[in-house]
A and B are shown apart, each in its own frame.
Chain A
Amino acid sequence: MPVPSVLIVDDNPDIRDSLSDMLIHEGYAVESIGHGAEAIRLVKQKRYGAAILDMQLPDLDGLSVLKVLTELDPNLPIVVITAHGTMETRSGSLTRGAFAYLTKPYDSGEVKAILRRVFSVKGLEVRAEHVEQALRASEARFRTLVESATDAIVLADHRGHIISWNQAAERLFGYSKQDALGRPLTILMPARYRPSYEAALAQLERTGRSPLLGKTLEFTGLTQSGRELPLELSLASWTTPDGTYYSGIIRDISERKRAEDALRRLSRHNQLLLDSAGDGIYGLDREGRTTFINPAAARMLGWEIADLLDRPMHDVVHHSHADGSPYPLETCPIYAALKDGAVHQVHNEIFWRKDGTRFPVEYVSTPVHEDGSLVGAVVVFKDISERKRAGSLQQTQLAVSHVLAAAETLEDAAPHILQAVCETAEWEIGLLWLVDHRARALRCETIWQKPDAGLDEFAALSRATALPPGVGLPGRVWAAGDTAWVLDVVNDPNFPRARAAARVGLHAAFAFPIRVGGHIHGVIEFFSHAVREPDGTLLKMMADIGLKIGQFVERKQAAQALVRAYEETEKILASLPGAILIVDGRQEIVYANALAVQYFGGHHRATLVRRRLHDALKLPPPARERLDRELAAVGAGKPRPPDPEFEADKRVYRYRLFPLVLRAGEPPRTGMIVWDVTEERQIQDHLLQAEKLASLGTMVSGMAHEINNPVQAILGMAELLLEEREMEKVREYASDIIGYAKHVSGVVRDFASYTRVTSRDGECEVDLHERLAEAVKMVRRGPHFGYVEVVTAFEPVPLLRTRKAEIDQLFINLINNAVQAMNGRGRLTLSTAVEQEQVVVRIDDTGCGIPKAMLHKIFDPFFTTKEPGKGTGLGLSIVYRIVAKYGGTLGVESEEGKGTQFTIRFPLRARVTAGST
């Protein structure tokens, strides 16, 4: 017999220690703890002979601890200790199962006496158990069986307290025999089942009967470690004179449960699969009779499941091919699986329904083997009519897309589109109607019909028909702007061609619009021999195709417009009477029109694009520099100077630059219009010659007066001299004549100097002051000079290397203009200076001035404000050309009524450019 163990539960360590000492001295094994929770934990795990429990615990209420402990171990005698016992706590604790009750302070004798009483009672119980065990020991075989049983075998007394606990039970629940014996069966079950267990036990006790007895039932057990597990229990009971006993054989069915659950799930899954599968599934035995068939299969085939079971399926659903020809069983792949044991798969056959209709299927026939022998086959099939239809719709779309991609115009594309739709969607004839805007009617433009369809009469009628909006199928689609479907045109009240349709057997029809730029451009319609139900998917797709065709037409129209615009622009540019060049910021040519290529592309008409502008135009260096300056100034908002010119390949070109912004954000480009002015220049040169002669004439007339006056005097005096006798008079006249003659020779010398320089070609160092003075002299002899006052303001300027005649012409022209503008009265100011590396000559007058509106035109050839016949209009253009030739610039400022100032600027080292005339 083991040492009796006592558990002391008291929060006061002094009490714990003194009690422990005393009881250990008495021969007890003692454990002492200070908290209620610890006490519960320990009693759960281990059995004690007795417990001493203080009611005053720091964590839990003493009475609650007492209750839990008695529940955990009903055989545990508990001695309750309280510091201040009241009647209530005392009776409360006793009614809750306390074995004895002590009030502090207690003496050790009292404690010892109570414990002795405890253990003597305990000893009786244990002895009783021993008797029982002895009884059973006689049934050694039974015991061994019980102990070695793989199932847990638990015996309980009528209170439900465990009295037998085998090894399997230990394994299953985790409690040792020591721990389990005497404990209530409730420790083996989760708390939630305990009330119903206790109720059942009470009923059993009361009535001696339970519906559970003798049966196997499943319940949920609880292990020592708190894990729940599914168990199977066979419950039996027997009654001895000692009372009623229960035996339970308990088996862990976790594994089985799992397997069962899996199986259940699987079979439900299979059934669901079979039932709900979209695919038809049926089984065949070796003879080809149906062993099972799922609802889907029956539904698809139009049969009841029962009607098909045990029937030869081939004869029922697979007897003929699509074309109606018989399908011999020997060639059927489904049955082949029964013969060769291989899987057979077919994608394009048909099954027949009960009502005689058919549908396309794909199926798999899989042989079924059992224990190595072929017992049948399972056939899984699918109705693929939807898929086939979707496929053909897709095919239609694809075909139309291909046609549109390859076609140039709707007229080209139309027959192919109609054919594609007819062939892929199974329609007999397709018609394209286009809107005739002037007639406000639809006219049939294109028809495609299946070969040998025999629809020529209908086609011819359609071609001859014009449909106003709202009339006929195409008219309706035109008016509504939406697709339309007619079940049977023969019976349609709004179908003018109904009679012809009836004759050729056309019935179902549909049509869809083609929209271009928001308007209906045309309508396409299709007819079938059959009466066909409206097919939403087909219509939707056709509407989509209508959109595509519309987009195609729009695209083509836009492309054509673009091509036309481009061609027109090209033609305009090419036929402009000027060469057009466009250069980028690096002066590289990015565009050149045909004339530009003709001018500058040489004999081979080489492309000019990507070439440098300088090189392409073959510009001489001074012209390059000038062009560079002009290019830099393009778009700077300055008033346009007269169009400059350059010479290349013995041709003379005049050009004008203009800024060009093609697209916002791009670097600006410069456009250049170039005119070939060679012929114009030749004419001008002739005119210049004429002008020169004219000005010479003016000068000659002036000269004539200059000369003829003294000549007149000489003549007159000479005539007088002839008749004069008086010597004094003779001398006087003769000396007069000599004076007049000298005057004449002076005039002639001046004139000769003018004519001499004009006739000489070469350049020389020219003194501008001298030439200005000479020019004034010349003009002064002219008819307009009047009372003009001449003021000069000359600063020292270098000689210019030029042709004297040209400088004279330049100055005479400008001074003559100034004098004319002053109409005989005013002040002419001539000034020279060197400014910014330039020789500047200014000619100011106080004349009438030039109106602002004309200021930009005055350098144009033939522009004149003078009356007809009074000027050639070439003067200033000659001036401009001479200045430009020496690399100079000519500026003009003028105010009406106040006067005009011309400013000529020559570069300090003026050079005649090569090739200039």
Chain B
Amino acid sequence: MHTQLESSPAERLGRVLLVDDEASVRKPITLSLQKAGYEVVEAENGEQAIAALNAGDNPLMVDTILCDIRMPKINGIDAVTYFRSQYPSVPVVVLTGYPDVELAVTLMKLGVRDYLVKPVTKDNLLRVIRRAIEQHELFKDQFVA
């Protein structure tokens, strides 16, 4: 598994699970992350997200989760809560369409790594993702050690 991760430059940077019901939102983000060298797994809703996380035999196949908090058919908070309880080592970055202090506090309490308000610039997005993955790497090392 470890060797697999190091087999390509993309794999070296990490794999991102992008959860957003809007294809228009997913498309530029996926393109930007891929260009920067990340592998992106897209999910339209919670079910797809969980399926993606459980694919293969490695639960740690995802280095970070980028999740929209406001989706018509899925409660973002519930989704984040699920991620944080099932995969505590995987950092979660939340995307939100509207800055809301109360929501931010709730998310922080859940252990969300970062909080991005739409629209987010490519640089900003990549910085947050990079930091989240670095954190995950640290954690992963500890975990492996």
Contacts and interface: CB of A to CB of B under 8 A. Distances in A.
Interface in B65-114: 70, 72-73, 75, 95-98, 100
Interface residues of B, number: 24
B135 interface: no
A486 B27 CA distance: 125
B31 A708 contact: no
Interface string A677-706: 000000000000000000000001100111
Contacts of B24: 709-710, 713, 736, 739-740, 743
B145 to A, nearest CB: 38
Contacts of A701: 97-98, 100
- Where chain B touches its partner, the secondary structure class is mixed
B47 to A, nearest CB: 14
A714 interface: yes
Contact of A720 (B28, B73, B98): B28
A696 to B, nearest CB: 13
A787 B73 contact: yes
Interface stretch (B5-13, B38-46, B52-60, B118-126): B118-126
B40 to A, nearest CB: 13
A712 B25 CA distance: 6
Nearest to B68: A709
Contacts of B95: 712
A719 B32 contact: yes
B100 A715 contact: no
B144 to A, nearest CB: 34
A776 interface: no
Contacts of A719: 28, 32, 121-122
Contacts of A713: 22, 24-25, 27-28
Nearest to A720: B31
Give the interface size bracket for A toward B.
Answer: 20 to 34
Contacts of B72: 785-786
Contacts of B22: 709, 713
A191 B31 CA distance: 172
Nearest to A719: B122
Contact of A717 (B27, B73, B96, B118): B27
A716 B35 CA distance: 12
B32 A716 contact: yes
Nearest to B21: A709
Contacts of B31: 716, 720
Nearest to A706: B97
B19 interface: no
B29 interface: yes
Contact of B119 (A711, A720, A723): A711
Contacts of B117: 708
Contacts of A720: 28, 31-32, 35, 122
Nearest to B99: A704
Nearest to B98: A704
Contacts of A783: 70
A736 to B, nearest CB: 7
A705 B119 contact: no
Contacts of A787: 73
A823 to B, nearest CB: 11
Given A701-B98, A704-B97, A709 B121 contact: no
A709 B27 contact: no
Contact of A708 (B28, B35, B97): B97
A715 B120 contact: yes
A780 to B, nearest CB: 8
B118 A709 contact: yes
B58 to A, nearest CB: 29
B28 A716 contact: yes
A705 B24 CA distance: 13
A787 B74 CA distance: 9
A554 B53 CA distance: 95
30 contacts: A700-B98, A701-B97, A701-B98, A701-B100, A705-B70, A705-B97, A705-B118, A707-B97, A708-B98, A709-B22, A709-B25, A709-B118, A711-B119, A712-B25, A712-B97, A712-B120, A713-B28, A715-B28, A715-B119, A716-B28, A716-B32, A716-B119, A717-B28, A719-B32, A720-B35, A736-B24, A783-B70, A785-B72, A786-B72, A787-B73
Shortest 10 CB-CB distances between A and B: which pairs? Answer: A716-B28, A705-B97, A704-B98, A708-B118, A708-B97, A713-B24, A715-B119, A712-B118, A712-B119, A711-B119
Given A712-B95, A713-B28, A719-B32, 17 more contacts: A704-B98, A706-B97, A709-B22, A709-B24, A709-B97, A709-B118, A711-B119, A712-B118, A713-B25, A715-B28, A716-B25, A717-B28, A719-B121, A720-B32, A736-B27, A785-B72, A786-B73
Interface of B: 22, 24-25, 27-29, 31-32, 35, 70, 72-73, 75, 95-98, 100, 117-122
